[in-house]
Structure 1
Amino acid sequence: MSKLSSKKIIKVINKAIALNPTEITFTQVSKNEVDGAWEEVVNEKTITVLIYLGSSETSNSVESKTEGTLYVNNKYKMVADKDADLEVNPKESIKFESNGEKFEIKAVYPQKVENTICGYICDLERIN
């Protein structure tokens, strides 16, 4: 039986991103404790990711008219490589724009194999 290795997972994630890459730039503001006070640190990052349509079972709105039916879905997913170093918490969110659409990263799930972070899977929400 073959063993799941971190090198294989990293290779698969990089190959998936290479099939349909999207470059995003975002500014992440984090608060670090310095001498007993909070200091805001601003980091601007540019990473290459894969953005795809997520599960539509939770929030679908359907509008039917005589012209046709429109299905609206605000749930998207994103895959980032191991070097993205993404972190989201309630006080620090990440917002970015891609192809004219604005997104906010709602949750980040690091993919860890053999104590090595191989990549990140993120829940996105399209915002106005």
Structure 2
Amino acid sequence: MSRLSAQKVIRTINKAISVNPTEISFTQITLKEIDGAFEPRTDNITITVLIYLDDGSTQINVNSSNKGTSYVTNRYKMLADKDANLEVNPKESIKFKNDKEKFEIKAVYPQKVEGIICGYLCDLERVD
């Protein structure tokens, strides 16, 4: 049986992002330990990701009228490469704007193979 290698997963994630890349920018505030004390550090980060609709979402609103049917969902997923270094905690979330829509990263799931982080899968929510 063939084994899944970290390099194959990294190449696959990078190829998926290159098919439909989206560049996002956000400001992240983290606490860094300096001389035994925590000091806030502000970083402006720009990364290239893949944003897509969540297929498993059960929160779909269907709007029907004479002109047609509209399907609205606020659940999205995001795939980022291994260099994104994303971190979300309950106190500080990441919010960004893309194509006149605002998103918030709700959860980040690092994808690890052979002990190496190959990418990040994120839950997004569209906010108003």
TM above 0.5 = yes
CA–CA distance in structure 2, aligned partners of residues 110 and 57 of structure 1: 21
Deviation at 1:118, TM superposition (A): 0.2
Deviation at 1:39, TM superposition (A): 2.3
CA contact (8 A) 1:6 1:114 kept: yes
The aligned residue for residue 88 of structure 2 is 88
TM-score scaled by length of structure 2:
0.92
The aligned residue for residue 40 of structure 1 is 40
Q: 1:60 to 1:118 in 2, by over 3 A?
A: same
Q: Any unmatched runs of 5+ in structure 1?
A: none
Deviation at 1:37, TM superposition (A): 5.0
* Stretches of 4+ aligned residues off by more than 3 angstroms: 32-38
1:55 corresponds to which letter in structure 2? D
CA–CA distance in structure 2, aligned partners of residues 76 and 9 of structure 1: 22
Aligned length: 128
Percent identity of paired positions between Structure 1 and Structure 2: 64
Range with bigger deviation, 33-42 or 117-126: 33-42
RMSD: 1.5
CA–CA distance in structure 1, aligned partners of residues 48 and 57 of structure 2: 28
CA contact (8 A) 1:56 1:75 kept: no
2:28 corresponds to which letter in structure 1? Q
